Amino acid sequence: MQATNTPQVDPKKLRKSLLTWAIVGAIIIAGTQIGWGTIWSEGVIRPLLNALLFFYAYLGRNFVVAITAFTIVLRLITFPLQMKQIRSSRMMAAVQPQMQELQKKYANDKERLVAEQQRLYREAGVNPLSGCLPTLVQLPIWFGLFQAINSILADTPLELMNLGKNVYHGFTAVVNIVPLQSYFLGMNLAEPDPTSIVLPVLVAGTTWLQQKMMAQPSTDSQQASMNQTMQLMMPLMFGYFTTQFSSGLAIYFVISNIVGIAIQWAVEKLEGPPIPSVEAPSGGTKRKEKAANGSRKRLNKA
């Protein structure tokens, strides 16, 4: 009786998948039972607001210093994600020669090319989508910071009353720091940059430099052209948004980009060039063909 080959299930991937779906399910249930507005307010805005107030109260009562400390702490929390993103990007650049050989070998078989590319990424331990994860994680933080900064830098009685509702009850130091000092170098941090030049240029420039350092080469001319377009459009888009957002949020972007650039530079210097753990497909094929020819010659001699 012929045995049937049953597909093997990776326990690690199964646990990861079950955990992911459990988290998604818990979020959906919580959102329907508690309310998405309440979750957004209590789970995002209030923690960000109180964290900024804490740093402001105990770090010299300077809002820019508070934003800097907050950014560094946030970067430390998301550091594992950023390291995964950097290493994945570096490894994708390292396997480009093998990728180019695959494109030449299976130029007329797109389906086989996709399958071989996926196999190459899997053997190299690369996830092409991992680069998007840190950005997705930071999206709710950006929106939450925009609302938190506007609430913290309140200057009217009604805004101060709303701020008091969002402060945690045990945070008694807030009584001595409200209203906060909202001016830095002549700028009102609750409003956009009055020059419409300085902060937008800093945000666009640091965003471009960070993307340039993390850019991965591509052997596909169309993909390379798309990457170059994104490297130009993203900084310009963020620079334009800076003219509409509060200066405090723009300063967060600049500091976050500078910290990200420093981390990228440190990883490049400490780890050196990445070494792919996979062999070139053509080399492996040639070795297999040589081995097969050698076996046939030995059989013929026998």
**What is the spatial distance between Cα 158 and Cα 123, in angstroms, rounded to a whole number?**
59
Structure tokens of 168?
């945690």
In the chain, the number of structural domains is: 1
The boundaries of the domain holding residue 87 are 37-272
For residue 209, the SS3 value is helix
Sequential pLDDT tens for the chain (302 residues) = 445 555 566 677 677 777 878 888 887 887 788 888 888 888 888 888 889 889 988 888 888 899 899 888 888 888 887 777 777 777 777 777 787 788 788 777 778 888 887 787 777 767 666 656 666 777 788 788 878 887 887 666 777 777 777 888 888 777 778 777 778 888 888 888 888 889 999 999 999 998 887 776 665 566 667 777 877 888 898 899 888 888 888 888 898 889 888 888 888 787 766 655 555 444 444 444 444 444 444 444 44
In a domain, 195, yes or no: yes
In a domain, 21, yes or no: no
Tell me whether the omega of the peptide bond preceding residue 281 falls within 30 degrees of 0, making it cis. Answer: no
In a domain, 213, yes or no: yes
In a domain, 292, yes or no: no
| pLDDT, tens only, 203-223 | 999 999 988 877 766 655 666
Closest C-alpha among 116, 126, 109 to residue 282: 116
CB 68 within 8 A of CB 168: no
Tell me whether the omega of the peptide bond preceding residue 194 falls within 30 degrees of 0, making it cis. Answer: no
In a domain, 176, yes or no: yes
In a domain, 73, yes or no: yes
In a domain, 184, yes or no: yes
